[in-house]
Amino acid sequence: EQDSAYKKAIRNRLPSSALFKIDLNRLSSGDFISDLPKTPMEQLQVMSFPEEYYMPDPREQAHFQDNINRSLAVPFINTKPSFGAKVPLAVIGQLLGIVEDLSPNLKYTLDYTADVEIVIFSMQAIVVATIFKGTQPPGNYKLTWNGRDDNGRKMPKGDYVAEIRIGKFSIIRKRIYLN
């Protein structure tokens, strides 16, 4: 019925302002009010729907949750809860050899008492600084190179290599970038 009225209105070659005036007159005359319920009880009966009409079906619930997730989304940032162990991406990169730690922090572990020597080399294989030379007991160690040579002069920007010699056979090398 509504579609046929729409088609009839389209077939009329009346301007839209004239159609608007006709509809406005029809609404203001109050003809449609006779169809409405008269008493408050009748109005409540018309408005009382079964409870299941108000409950969303599973598809609507899924759409609702998806819309909430999309509204909270931030580009390039995962806001969804993750499960399991949380390992920073930098650590994974270091384990795979993809990411390199270029900081002047040197970490090493001794399983037994050993002679340790920590030397910093320039890219030309010249000894720049000796950070430590001595005997250390077992344990975890962390040293930071201050970016200066043995004479206390600040070294220029660039790449350096730290070499940690443990005993006679173990050598750990690390690249350092000063900026």
For the stretch 34-62, pLDDT in tens is 667 678 777 777 777 777 777 888 899 99
pLDDT of the residue at 84: 66
Please compute the mean of the pLDDT values over residues 66-85 and round it to a whole number: 74
- Would you say 161 and 128 are in contact if contact means Cβ atoms under 8 Å apart? no
Domain layout of the chain by residue ranges: 2-70, 102-178
pLDDT over 90 at 80, yes or no = no
Q: What angle do CA 93, 90, 148 make, to 5 degrees?
A: 105
Other beta carbons less than 10 A from residue 23's beta carbon: 11
Write the CB contacts of 115 (distance below 8 Å, at least 6 apart in sequence). Answer: 134, 135, 166, 167
Weakest-pLDDT range from 34-38, 70-74, 157-161, 174-178: 34-38
- Alpha-carbon span 165 to 135, nearest angstrom: 11
**Quick check: helix, strand or coil at residue 156?**
coil
Please compute the mean of the pLDDT values over residues 85-104 and round it to a whole number: 78
What topology is assigned to 102-178 in CATH? Immunoglobulin-like (2.60.40)
Percentage of the chain with pLDDT > 70?
90
